[in-house]
Amino acid sequence: MTAFDLANAIGRKKIADTLGVGMTAVSNAVVRGSFPASWFLAIQSLSEDLGLEFEYPPELFNMRMAENKPDDATDQWEVA
């Protein structure tokens, strides 16, 4: 799934209107190849409303995976 594919499936105008941004902002995101992370929930909702089932890679919304995750969730709370 690419930003281009997703924008075409939903409709750029529909995305722009829902988010309250201009068509240029949507087009710029498509050209960059990723949407702002703050657009994730709105685009996910639009997709669901249209019956589209997509899995979004985090990179599609400018999100990053944690690089240094603790091996065990309790490791982060250890007190010396």
d(Cα 80, Cα 70) in Å, to the nearest integer? Answer: 16
Provide the residue count of the chain.
80
pLDDT at 79: 59
pLDDT at 77: 58
- Mark the ranges of the chain whose per-residue pLDDT is less than 50: none
pLDDT by residue (tens digit) across 2-18? Answer: 999 999 999 999 999 99
Helix, strand or coil, per DSSP, at residue 46:
helix
d(Cα 71, Cα 19) in Å, to the nearest integer? Answer: 38
Write down the pTM of the prediction. 0.76
pLDDT at 67: 74
